[in-house]
Every structure is written in structure tokens, then in C-alpha cells.
Amino acid sequence: MKIFKTAVLAGLMVAAVGVSAHAETTTIALSGEVASISSYSFTPQSFALTGDMTTAGNTAATIGLLSIDNNDSNGFKISISSEQNGVLRRYNTTGSGTYYPGNDLGNTTSYTIQFVPNTNPGVVGADAPSGFQSAITLATAPSEYSFINPVQATVAGKYDMKVTAASNTKLFNTQDPTSDQYRDVITLTVANL
């Protein structure tokens, strides 16, 4: 019996050694593309500074909604400029429309703008840069704010744009409110970094 066991074991070992294991490896490459998105919209609200500007200030009045979609991995920047260098200037709307000349204290008054996250803010992929949500005074050069190092795409990121104009007792009257007012034009530009 002992001889038989040895022969069977030897036969099993030969059988195991004689079988060759064959493995095949296949690699599958997955790839996809994402189109570039860099767009924004600004929805203005019907707005006029309220009350007599010599006695009534306007504090953080919402003038519109800025919505941003951007998927650039470097982020994006917002540039803000002012036609009248950050002041409301007396303007005559009749005829071709003209600003009153000069920087007389009676013809201009300063204001600030501010961007505040909307109550439905969407997704902003990068932290707001320093100063973007503070009072911004628009001077001669455009103000630029870069949203850098995003961790994800910005999808319908929403900010309320607000304006604050203090009362100013030095302003000239607008003799005909239908044709005489204080105004400025603000330009917003959103671009990839």
C-alpha cells in the first residue's frame, strides 16, 4: 500500500508541474472631453437712486444679479470699469445727451459697488478674491478680481450687485428730473485667466 501511495503522489506532482498557467492582460483606455465654458449674464433690476440725493443716501441697494458659468482650471477674472471714474455725474438726457463738464463738487458724487452672494448662490468653484465682497470704489483704472485655484467648475455662481451712494448736500439741483439726472455707466467683463 505504501508503494501505491507514493506512486499516486508522484503522479499528482507530475500532473501539477506539467500544467502551464496562461494569463492574458487587456488594457482599456477610457477618455472623454469637456468643452470650454466661460459665460456670464447680468440681469439688471429696474433701479434709480431713491429720494433727494442731497438728503437721502442709498445703502446697499441691489441693482442687478451677476451669474457666472466657468470651467477653466486656472479660474476666471472679473473686470469692472466706470465711464465716469466711479462718480455719478450730472447728465442732461435731452437731445444727444451730455454730461455737465468739470469735476465741480456740485456736478459729481461718489458711490461704491459691492458683490454679495445671492440667496441661491449656485456653485462657485474658487473662493472670492479679497475685496470682491467689500465696497469697491471705481477709479480711473478698471478693478480686477481673479478667482484662482478653483477646486471645481463654477456653475450658475450668483452674486447680487449692490450700490451705495451717500447723501451729498453739495449737489446742484436737477431742474427737470425727466431730463436732468446723475448717472454713470459700469462695464463688467468676465474672462478666463
**Total residues belonging to the chain:** 193
Which stretches does DSSP call E strand in the chain? Answer: 38-44, 58-70, 75-82, 87-92, 98-99, 108-110, 112-117, 143-148, 154-165, 180-183, 186-192
Which amino acid does the sequence have at 126? Answer: A
**pLDDT of amino acid 141:** 62
The pTM (predicted TM-score) of the whole model is 0.75
User: Top-level CATH class of 38-192?
Assistant: mainly beta
**pLDDT of amino acid 60:** 83
How much of the chain, in percent, has pLDDT values that exceed 70? 80
Which amino acid does the sequence have at 91? Answer: Y
**pLDDT of amino acid 4:** 47
**pLDDT of amino acid 51:** 65
Domains of the chain, residue spans = 38-192
Q: What is the pLDDT of residues 132-154, one digit of tens each?
A: 888 888 875 668 999 999 999 99
Q: What angle do CA 122, 32, 152 make, to 5 degrees?
A: 25
